[in-house]
Amino acid sequence: MSIKRKLAASLVAAAPVLAGCDTDTPTAPGLELSVHSLLGGLEPGEAYVLAGADAGFLPLVGGVNGAEYLIVPFYSAEADERIEIALRGDGVTASAPLLARADGAEDDRPQVFGPTLAVRTGPGLGRMVAASDRAHEELRIRMRRETMELMRRGGPRPLSLPRSITPRHANLALSDVSVGDLVTLNVQADLPCDNPVYRVGRVVAISERAIIVADTLNPEGGFTESHYQHFASEFDALVHPTVTGTFGEPSDIDGNGKVVMFFTSAVNDLTPPGSNGIVLGFFYARDLFASDGDDGCPGSNETEMFYMLVPDPERAVYEPIFSVEEVELLTMGVVAHEYQHLINASRRIYVNDAETLEEIWLDEALSHVAEELVFYEVTGLGPRQDLGVEQIAREDRLDATYRYILDNLVRYGIFLEEIDNASLFEYDLAGRGASWSFLRYLADRSGETDDEFFYDVANARNSGLANLNRVLGGSASEMARDWAVSVYADNHVAGIPEEYRQPSWNFRSILPRISLFSGQFPLSDRALGSDRAMNLGLKGGGTAMIRVSVDQASRAILEATEHRGGELPASLMLTVLRTR
């Protein structure tokens, strides 16, 4: 009887004890993926997000009606690194050609940004500016390297005034000038400190925040005093408050509270006749350093300044972009752009005690954001409004669109065209389009206002991705991975989560309406079939768009490896989004 009691007690006790048994903890992504795929796999709008070897094996399902997937690799490495990957699809079918083409009917729509852009493009603005950017790119690399050498030498920091924006070393010629005065400025763009090339400029306009100087060697028939006065007043009323309101005030080493804009044909000279590109202006941080002393930089102009393109009517006969009208249209956007560079560098040197200048790709992205912010200010529009062609092509906004945002949009479109060979971390035309869009995407995801977010990014001691990681409090590389998916999915794929949206711009609405893109959304994608492997080369910061289909009630396996069959490195991230 006692045995029976014990057994009975055990029996009653067994239920809760057994009920406490719990699950195993799955760890192998391949196992998870396989089980998930058997349970129906992804729904439209859902994604697998994997990295490295985990991305090597991906089961996909066709479901009841067939399915289409977008494969988006992102290589999180330095821009000069490259990886070759191979994709093989067993059971997949190639998707129809380029879904990215602007959905049929859009082809017949008028090109809203046609004529003016056509004038500016000549054979194609993108190609032209891309070439110029390569020249500009070399210039920027050299300028950054040499300026950082100056920072290392400690020349710019008088011991008494670090981290301040107070007067440090007046350029006597510029600290107290009047309209009509002549000043001498070094325009040497190849070397920061040595072999100065002096030009004499006339002060043509002075406002509360700007001194406009025109080179006396500028071509005849260019800007008039009225143009210059307009630039000065536009700077005071629009560009200065907008740009400093977001990024902070620049230094004031000459104590005049103003920025010098030197309109000089020396900028034009950086673009030899017949070039397939153009340098529109530049900022050179050497001008923020003392010219004298053991560590001085004799070539420094010792003032907050930047250098601007001027019209050249004779040259405009065969290169229309040098016409007064075209250069005037470009000028204030370039001013906003260069002003951010000036603010960024001067605050790093004199305010933020930075270890380094900002990496060029991020510095350029911030400058393109500066242009965008001015666009918002002029039009009354704002970020996170999913702006489409209807908003920016409205009659009363068209001028601002051309002046401040169209080039960003064109560069982004060129990035889409060249996406396989582009890198987020390069600063050619495609890279600039990408990095501007990426920075905008990060700001939109950050939960902060634009002012908060961009101020944090601009006022840093470190640079590049490390800077973004600090501001975001997370991995910028992982956000770049998600941004890459948003490039395809935003305003196109239903049911996607927020991280695959670009809340500020509806590029699928705008880009097909730019004449350069001939009615198409210019994204280059690839279709993967089961007949052969697809080899793909990606730069660091590079991505690609690959689409595959799986027939209804079918299963497929996608394999991703290095091109020789090895496992992918952890820096190769792969997102698989079900698009349909």
Partner 1 sequence: MRNRIAAPLAFCAVMLAAPAPLAAQLPGALSVEARLGGAFATGDFAASGRAFEAGSGYAASVNGRLGLFPGLEFYVGYERAQMPCDACAATQLDDTLVDDGIGVGAILELPLDLPGLSPWVRAGLVRRQLRISGFGETMASKPGIGFDLGAGITLPLSGPIKLTPGVRYLNYPAEFDFQLLPDRSIDVSHFGVDVGLAYQF
Measured at the CA of 39, the angle between CA 34 and CA 40, to 5 degrees, comes to 100
Calpha distance 56→558 (Å, rounded) = 8
Of 36, 101, 142, 153, the one binding partner 1 by CB under 8 A: 36
Rounded Cα distance, 339 and 159, in Å = 26
Of 349 and 574, nearer to partner 1 (C-beta) is 574
Identity of the residue, 61 or 187, whose beta carbon is nearer to partner 1 in the bound complex: 61
Minimum CB–partner distance for residue 496 and partner 1 (Å) = 13
Tokens 């040197």, residue?
349
Residue 23 interacts with partner 1 (CB under 8 A): yes or no = yes
Distance CA 528, CA 552 (A): 17
For residue 405, give both structure tokens: 């945002």
Specify the residue, 12 or 159, whose C-beta has the smaller distance to partner 1. Answer: 12
Q: Give the residue, chosen from 31, 172, 317, 570, that forms a contact with partner 1 under the rule CB under 8 A.
A: 31
Find the shortest distance in angstroms from Cβ 442 to partner 1.
23
- By beta-carbon proximity to partner 1, the closer residue of 43 and 138 is 43
Helices (H), 386-510: 389-392, 398-400, 406-417, 429-446, 450-458, 464-472, 476-489, 507-510
| b (16+ CB within 10 A) / e for 24-38 | eeeeebeeebeebbe
Binding of partner 1 by 494 (CB under 8 A):
no
Judge whether 354 and 348 are in contact, CB under 8 Å.
yes
Binding mask 38-77 for partner 1 (x = CB under 8 A): xxx-xx--x-xxx------x-x------------------
- Shortest separation between residue 379's beta carbon and partner 1, angstroms: 40
Amino acid making up residue 345: A
Select from 11-19, 465-473, 538-546, 566-574 the region that touches partner 1 (CB under 8 A): 11-19
Binding of residue 30 to partner 1 (CB under 8 A): yes
14 touching partner 1, by CB under 8 A: yes
Asked if 15 interacts with partner 1 (CB under 8 A), we say: yes
Q: Residue 10, interface with partner 1 (CB under 8 A)?
A: yes
- Which of residues 2, 27, 160, 178 is near partner 1 by CB under 8 A? 27
C-alpha–C-alpha distance, residues 492 and 494, integer Å: 7
Q: How far apart are CA 117 and CA 230, in angstroms?
A: 24
Inter-residue contact 212 to 259 (CB < 8 Å): no
**With CB under 8 A, what is the number of residues at the site for partner 1?**
41
Tokens 């009517």, residue located: 313
Site string for partner 1, 144-163 (x = CB under 8 A): --------------------
Structure tokens at 280: 């529109």
Counted residue by residue, the chain has a size of 580
- Which residues in this chain contact partner 1 in the complex, by CB under 8 A? 3-4, 7-8, 10-12, 14-15, 18-19, 21-24, 26-40, 42-43, 46, 48-50, 57, 59, 553, 555, 557
